[in-house]
């Protein structure tokens, strides 16, 4: 097989190999690529990119393979799978700079940093890739205190479409560094990310549950409280989950207080407890690395349709009213609303290609089921989004299962898109890296 690419030091999996079926699919979608290439180092990535460029085959780059839009595989093309590039090294102990391979997952990172008392603001799931999550944002349990995952980046090493290895930071190739912080995988393959990690203690973490008939009121109180809550507190409100009873499902507010002081944690969390009838409360002090969960792998044939948007301050009451009203009806998608604000909104909108800095909330609707269920629920989803569209702004690329022109336009405001397109022209003029919310070269 190495005859496919001379001198390739990693693995090449083709349709005749026993592992082909497993290698060709991602966590969420199946595929039938011609080859899955697993580079063992940066030079292999360069060779793989050169091979794809000269073959003319479509390319999918796979980090953790969790993209809802299935970007991590394709049919008939080449998948470059980065799982072997998963080194995690504390390279500067004083500044807490950590160098992480482009194919590592957040579970690996949290486990590797825990013995040093460090963590990086990331997401909530172990198996999600550092690559995809960081390149489009990164909204996790420390987001209000330390910002998005990409706000903690200090540099990247990236293999461009020309096969060059380029370093980008605030001081080197600064425009490329701006673009990779929100522009997804459009500019090349990131072989290493360098983050400034932050010290972490154990954190207060758990779930509060409220009855379904209190959702409308509790949601409004919860969202209003975020404006005065300490930045240490980050939470996700979820409801209408058909696996927990659909319209009868409780409202679950999962929260993290980033600190180990019991009194301060209670002061931060109690105002949420007082919003309604608490049915369950399992908030307890836990190691940060242990609050991340294992991603659930849906069985083959089950699809996930996810769509997201941001909510600015003035629209919060109306958007939450619409979500609560829809959640109370049969066949509603699963609703999940995340607090942002805090450190995220202290970064200027044009400082990174992730531009949605004003938002107080990010929410996603998710429908899970076999194709007939997805099809049957389409009109209701459309009706919901028709109501929401005048009230919301943009979309969070990491929670989108579609990648059409309207989705791309929602992810990148016009000025951001134009600036990204200029960077794309410089680093990927032929749009080799198109398996993403795609920016076309200017």
Site for ligand FAD in 51-70 (CB under 6 A): 61-68
Site for ligand FAD in 219-278 (CB under 6 A): none
Binding of ligand FAD at residue 125 (CB under 6 A)? Answer: yes
Among 147, 183, 295, 394, binds ligand FAD (CB under 6 A): 295
Among 35, 71, 178, 363, binds ligand FAD (CB under 6 A): 71
Residues 349, 347: Cα–Cα separation, whole Å: 6
Binding part of the chain for ligand FAD, among 138-146, 262-270, 374-382, 404-412 by CB under 6 A, reads: 138-146
Site for ligand FAD in 83-112 (CB under 6 A): 102
Binding of ligand FAD at residue 25 (CB under 6 A)? Answer: no
Binding part of the chain for ligand FAD, among 5-13, 132-140, 363-371, 422-430 by CB under 6 A, reads: 132-140
Min CB(216)–ligand FAD separation in Å: 25
Nearer to ligand FAD, 271 or 287 (CB): 287
Among 83, 129, 246, 333, binds ligand FAD (CB under 6 A): 129
Binding of ligand FAD at residue 427 (CB under 6 A)? Answer: no
Binding of ligand FAD at residue 394 (CB under 6 A)? Answer: no
Nearer to ligand FAD, 184 or 250 (CB): 184
Among 140, 183, 246, 250, binds ligand FAD (CB under 6 A): 140
The answer to whether 304 and 366 are in contact (CB under 8 A) is yes
Min CB(277)–ligand FAD separation in Å: 28
Binding of ligand FAD at residue 31 (CB under 6 A)? Answer: no
Min CB(149)–ligand FAD separation in Å: 7
Binding of ligand FAD at residue 183 (CB under 6 A)? Answer: no
Binding site for ligand FAD (CB under 6 A): 26, 61-68, 71-72, 82, 102, 123-125, 128-129, 131-133, 135, 137-140, 184-185, 189-190, 295, 398, 435-436
């Amino acid at each position: 097989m190495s005859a496919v690419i001379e001198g390739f030091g990693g693995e090449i999996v083709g349709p005749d190999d026993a592992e082909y079926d497993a290698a060709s699919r991602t966590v969420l979608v199946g595929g039938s690529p011609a080859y899955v290439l697993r580079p063992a180092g940066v030079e292999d990535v360069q060779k793989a990119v050169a091979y794809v460029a000269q073959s003319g085959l479509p390319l999918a780059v796979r980090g953790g393979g969790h993209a809802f839009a299935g970007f991590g595989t394709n049919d008939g093309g080449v998948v470059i799978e980065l799982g072997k590039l998963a080194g995690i090294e504390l390279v500067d102990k004083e500044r807490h700079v950590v160098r992480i391979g482009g194919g590592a997952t957040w579970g690996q990172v949290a486990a590797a940093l825990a013995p040093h008392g460090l963590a990086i603001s990331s997401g909530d799931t172990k198996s999600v890739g550092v690559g995809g999550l960081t390149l489009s944002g990164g909204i996790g349990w420390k987001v209000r205190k330390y910002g998005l995952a990409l706000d903690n980046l200090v540099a990247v090493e990236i293999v461009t479409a020309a096969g060059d290895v380029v370093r980008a930071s605030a001081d080197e190739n600064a425009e490329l560094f701006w673009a990779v912080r929100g522009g997804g995988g459009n500019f090349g393959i990131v072989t290493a990310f360098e983050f400034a990690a932050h010290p972490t203690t154990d954190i207060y973490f758990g779930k509060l549950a409220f009855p379904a008939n209190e959702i409308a009121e509790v949601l409004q109180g919860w969202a209003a409280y975020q404006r005065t809550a300490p930045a240490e507190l980050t939470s996700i409100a979820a409801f209408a989950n058909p696996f927990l009873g659909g319209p009868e499902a409780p409202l679950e507010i999962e929260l993290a207080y980033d600190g180990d002081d019991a009194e301060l944690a209670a002061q931060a969390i109690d105002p949420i407890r007082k919003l309604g009838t608490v049915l369950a409360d399992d908030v307890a002090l836990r190691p940060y690395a242990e609050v991340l969960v294992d991603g659930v792998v849906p069985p083959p044939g089950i699809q996930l349709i996810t769509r997201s948007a941001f909510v600015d301050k003035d629209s919060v009451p109306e958007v939450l009213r619409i979500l609560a009203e829809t959640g109370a009806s049969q066949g509603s998608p699963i609703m999940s609303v995340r607090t942002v604000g805090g450190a995220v909104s202290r970064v200027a909108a044009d400082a990174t290609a992730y531009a949605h800095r004003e938002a107080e909330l990010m929410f996603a609707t998710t429908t899970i089921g076999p194709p007939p269920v997805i099809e049957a629920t389409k009109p209701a989803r459309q009706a919901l989004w028709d109501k929401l569209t005048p009230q919301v702004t943009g979309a969070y690329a990491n929670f989108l299962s579609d990648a059409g022109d309207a989705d791309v336009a929602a992810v990148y405001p016009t000025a951001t898109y134009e600036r990204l397109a200029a960077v794309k022209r410089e680093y990927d003029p032929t749009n080799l890296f198109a398996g993403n919310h795609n920016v076309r070269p200017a």
